[in-house]
């Protein structure tokens, strides 16, 4: 039985959404702002020693920050952030065999069970405690639903934020004339985040959704029960939505027309969108303030993506922080 927002629909999805709404509210997430700033500074401090040699910014910075933020969000002790990151490196690894994957999955399940038990005994100001305290009139999240929600936050909110950070760095370095607008203060970092989400979305396609009834669209009939793959990449390049000038195929921070739906749309719109935006708006300026001459450490400037129809993810982001 599905126990999370991604795996439910209709009345059950609405119930879970309402019960988790406070925990994911902008006000609840906003309290993390100072810690996100401090975590970013700590990670940047750690990069200083290797600043004159090529390093993988994805692995050393973009991957570590969202997982540390999720640790803070869950109320996990800072000493355990590294363990949690290591477990999810194994979990997300493309080369992990089925036995190791299942072992990692079981280890994470036990970790969450222990964390939930600890938060019941020792509540704090964190997402886990808020999820455990939801519900009125006897309706509350079960421990299984709390665990499912915590797991889906990592699955939906970690790699997507990693990709947002990497794709923003790639776009700015590839479009120096646009980056100049930011350096000159003519464009804000919030605009950088939004244009990156449109131009180079963290998720390429959402698979699969199934029609619950016949739907007529664009002269075609999607039959009840048929599978549908939603392409965020294609939607973000729609000229009817974004106009002909500047062309949707270009990264342009002065764009005024159109909106992206890289966080989804409707009842399933991503509840973590405020957190992802906040991480990008904090981390990116701090990165470039610390390392203003940061550049790619690849001869031809070409970067390779993971072969995936779901995530829009760089294999690595080799950079020189202080050329």
Those residues whose C-beta lies under 8 Å from the C-beta of residue 28, and which sit 6 or more positions away, are: 22, 127, 130
Query: CA angle, 283 as apex, 248 and 252 as ends, to 5°?
Result: 15
In the sheet with 55-56, reading across from the earlier edge strand, the strands are 55-56, 318-320, 295-296
pLDDT in tens, 121-150: 999 999 999 999 987 666 889 999 999 999
Look up the pTM and report it.
0.91
| Whether the Cβ atoms of residue 264 and residue 206 lie closer than 8 Å to each other | yes
Quick one: pLDDT at residue 117? 95
In angstroms, the CA 115 to CA 281 distance is 30
Quick one: pLDDT at residue 98? 86
Quick one: pLDDT at residue 82? 82
Quick one: pLDDT at residue 3? 77
Structural domains of the chain, with CATH: 10-200+270-314 (1.10.630.10)
Quick one: pLDDT at residue 136? 61
All residue ranges of the chain with pLDDT < 70 are 1-2, 93-96, 136-138, 301
Structure tokens belonging to residue 253: 């921070």
Quick one: pLDDT at residue 306? 87
Q: How far apart are the first and last CA of the chain?
A: 53
Total residue length of the chain: 323
Quick one: pLDDT at residue 146? 92
Query: CA angle, 130 as apex, 114 and 154 as ends, to 5°?
Result: 60
Bridge partners of residue 230, in order along the sequence: 206
- Side-chain-side CA neighbours of 189 within 13 Å: the count stands at 16
CA distances from 149 to 3, 74, 170, 276 (A): 7, 11, 31, 17
Mapped onto helix, strand or coil, the DSSP state of residue 202 is coil
């Amino acid at each position: 039985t599905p126990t999370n927002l991604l795996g439910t629909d209709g009345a059950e999805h609405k119930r879970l959404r309402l019960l988790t709404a406070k925990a994911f509210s902008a006000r609840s997430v906003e309290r993390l702002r100072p810690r996100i700033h401090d975590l970013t500074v700590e990670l940047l401090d750690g990069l200083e020693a290797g600043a004159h040699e090529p390093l993988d910014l994805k692995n050393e910075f973009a991957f570590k920050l969202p997982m540390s933020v999720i640790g803070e969000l869950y109320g996990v002790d800072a000493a355990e952030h590294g363990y949690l990151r290591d477990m999810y490196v194994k979990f997300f690894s493309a080369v992990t065999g089925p036995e190791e994957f299942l072992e990692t999955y079981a280890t994470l399940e036990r970790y969450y069970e222990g964390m939930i038990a600890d938060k019941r005994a020792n509540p704090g100001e964190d997402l886990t405690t808020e999820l455990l305290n939801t519900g009125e009139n006897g309706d509350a999240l079960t421990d299984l639903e709390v665990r499912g929600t915590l797991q889906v936050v990592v699955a939906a909110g970690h790699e997507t934020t990693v990709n947002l950070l990497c794709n923003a760095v790639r776009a700015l370095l590839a479009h120096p004339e646009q980056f100049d607008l930011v350096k000159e203060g003519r464009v804000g970092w919030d605009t950088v985040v939004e244009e990156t989400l449109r131009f180079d979305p963290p998720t390429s396609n959402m698979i699969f959704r199934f029609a619950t009834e016949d739907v007529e669209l664009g002269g075609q009939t999607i039959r009840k029960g048929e599978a549908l793959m939603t392409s965020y990449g294609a939607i973000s390049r729609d000229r009817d939505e974004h106009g002909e000038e500047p062309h949707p195929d270009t990264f342009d921070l002065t764009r005024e027309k159109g909106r992206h739906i890289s966080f989804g749309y409707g009842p399933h719109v991503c509840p973590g969108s405020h957190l992802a935006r906040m991480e990008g708006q904090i981390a990116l300026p701090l990165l470039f303030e610390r390392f203003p001459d940061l550049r790619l450490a690849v001869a031809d400037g070409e970067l390779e993506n993971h072969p995936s129809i779901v995530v829009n993810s760089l294999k690595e982001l080799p950079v020189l922080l202080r050329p």
